[in-house]
Amino acid sequence: MVMIEAMNLGKVYTVKKKINFFRSEKQKVSAVKGLNLTIGEGEIVGLLGLNGAGKTTTIKMLSTLLNPSSGKITIDGLDAVKDAIKVKRLVNMIAGGERMLYWRLTGTQNLRYFGKLYGLSGGELEERIHDLLEEVGLTEASHTPVELYSKGMKQRLQIARGLINDPKYLFLDEPTLGLDAPVAKQLREMVKRLAKEQGKGILLTSHYLEEVEELCDRVYIIEKGSLILHDTPENITASVVKNYHIKIESSALSTFQQNRIKQGLSGCSIEFSELGDSTEMHIIAPFDPTALIINVCMKESIAIQKLELKRPRLEDAILTLAKGKLA
Amino acid sequence: MRLLSILVAETVKSHQHNFHNKLIYFSLLIWPALLFVTAYYSFKPFNLSDSSPLFAYMDVDQIPMFLLTGYLGYIFFWSLVQSAWGMSYERQAGTLELIFLTPVSRIVVMFSRAAGNLLEAVWLFTGFTLIVLVVTGNAGDIHWWNVPLGLLILSVSAIVWGGFLNIVFLFSRDAGILFTIFEEPMQFFSGVRIPVLAFPVWGKMIALIFPLTYVLEIFRDLVLNGKGLVELAEPFIVLFGVLAFLTIVSIFLLKKAETHAKETGNMVLF
- Chain A touched by B56 (CB under 8 Å): no
Burial status of residue A246 (CB atoms within 10 A of its CB: 0-12, 13-18, 19 or more): buried
Tell me: pLDDT of B225 over 80: yes
- What is the residue type of B171? F
DSSP string, B216-251: HHHHHHHHTS---TTTTHHHHHHHHHHHHHHHHHHH
Predicted local confidence at residue A233, as pLDDT: 85
Closest C-alpha among B202, B207, B215 to residue B243: B215
Region for A311 from its dihedrals, namely left if φ exceeds 0, alpha if ψ lies in -120 to 50, beta otherwise: beta
Q: Which residue of A has its CA nearest to B91?
A: A100
> Which range has the worst mean pLDDT, A56-65, B129-138, B235-244?
B129-138
The Cα–Cα gap between B251 and B233 comes to 27
The CA distances from residue A114 to A84, A158, B89, B145, in Å, are 18, 11, 17, 41
Predicted local confidence at residue A184, as pLDDT: 83
Tell me: pLDDT of B237 over 60: yes
Percent composition of chain A: helix, strand, coil (DSSP 3-state, to 5) = 35, 30, 30
CB contact under 8 A, B97 and A64: no
> Which range has the worst mean pLDDT, A293-297, B170-174, B261-265?
B170-174
Q: What residue spans of A67-144 are helical by DSSP H?
A: 84-90, 107-117, 122-135
Predicted local confidence at residue A167, as pLDDT: 95
- Chain A touched by B100 (CB under 8 Å): yes
Q: At what angle do helices B31-43 and B106-135 cross, to 10 degrees?
A: 50
Predicted local confidence at residue B181, as pLDDT: 76
> Which range has the worst mean pLDDT, B12-21, B52-61, B202-211?
B52-61
Please report, in angstroms and rounded to a whole number, the separation of the first and last CA atoms in chain B: 34
Is residue A149 classed as helix, strand or coil in its secondary structure?
coil
- Chain A touched by B93 (CB under 8 Å): yes
CB contact under 8 A, A109 and B13: yes
Distance of residue A268 Cα from the nearest chain B Cα, in angstroms = 51
How confident is the model over B20-41, as a mean pLDDT?
A: 77
Q: What percent of chain B has pLDDT over 70?
A: 93
Q: Which residue has the higher pLDDT, A92 or B186?
A: A92
How confident is the model over B175-195, as a mean pLDDT?
A: 81
Dihedral angle over CA of A275, A281, A284, A285, nearest 10: -170
Predicted local confidence at residue B175, as pLDDT: 65
pLDDT band at B246 (very low <50, low <70, confident <90, very high): very high
| Helices and strands (DSSP H and E) totals, chain A | 11, 14
CB contact under 8 A, A112 and B93: no
Q: Which residues contact A122 (CB under 8 A, 6 or more apart)?
A: none
Region for A64 from its dihedrals, namely left if φ exceeds 0, alpha if ψ lies in -120 to 50, beta otherwise: left
Output the average pLDDT for chain B: 86
Q: Which residues of chain A, if any, have pLDDT below 50?
A: 327
Tell me: pLDDT of B240 over 70: yes
- Chain A touched by B234 (CB under 8 Å): no
How confident is the model over B108-135, as a mean pLDDT?
A: 87
How confident is the model over B124-130, as a mean pLDDT?
A: 84
Q: What is the pLDDT of residues A144-164, one digit of tens each?
A: 999 999 988 998 899 999 999
CA atoms within 13 A on the CB side of A297: 20
The Cα–Cα gap between A100 and B68 comes to 41
Q: Which helix (H) or strand (E) holds A43?
A: none
Q: Which residue of B has its CA nearest to A11?
A: B263
- Chain A touched by B256 (CB under 8 Å): no
Predicted local confidence at residue A152, as pLDDT: 87
- Chain A touched by B269 (CB under 8 Å): no
Closest C-alpha among B63, B69, B65 to residue B141: B65
Q: What is the ipTM of this complex?
A: 0.85
Residue A222: beta bridge partners?
A227
Predicted local confidence at residue B17, as pLDDT: 83
CB contact under 8 A, B98 and A100: yes
Predicted local confidence at residue A99, as pLDDT: 85
pLDDT band at B48 (very low <50, low <70, confident <90, very high): low
Distance of residue A193 Cα from the nearest chain B Cα, in angstroms = 24
Q: Which of B98, B107, B110 to mutate to test the interface with A (most CBs of A within 10 A)?
A: B98
Q: Name the residue facing B13 among A89, A93, A102 (closest C-beta).
A: A102
Distance of residue A105 Cα from the nearest chain B Cα, in angstroms = 6
- Chain A touched by B99 (CB under 8 Å): yes
Distance of residue B33 Cα from the nearest chain A Cα, in angstroms = 28
Tell me: pLDDT of B269 over 60: no
Chain A residues inside the 8 Å CB shell of B262: 64-67
Chain B residues inside the 8 Å CB shell of A105: 13, 16-17
How confident is the model over B261-265, as a mean pLDDT?
A: 87
Predicted local confidence at residue B174, as pLDDT: 67
Q: Which residue of A has its CA nearest to B11?
A: A113
Q: Which helix (H) or strand (E) holds A204?
A: strand A201-205
Single pTM value for the model: 0.83
Task: Return the DSSP state at B146.
Answer: G
Closest C-alpha among A179, A180, A162 to residue A171: A162
Strand A3-18: give its sheet, edge to edge.
A24-40, A3-18, A70-75, A78-79
Task: Give the Cβ contact number of residue A222 at 10 Å.
Answer: 24
Distance of residue B2 Cα from the nearest chain A Cα, in angstroms = 7
Q: Name the residue facing B94 among A66, A99, A116 (closest C-beta).
A: A99
Q: How many CB pairs under 8 A join A and B?
A: 83
Are the beta carbons of B250 and B161 closer than 8 angstroms?
no
- Chain B touched by A144 (CB under 8 Å): no
Q: Which residues contact A248 (CB under 8 A, 6 or more apart)?
A: A280, A281, A283, A293, A297, A304, A306, A307, A308
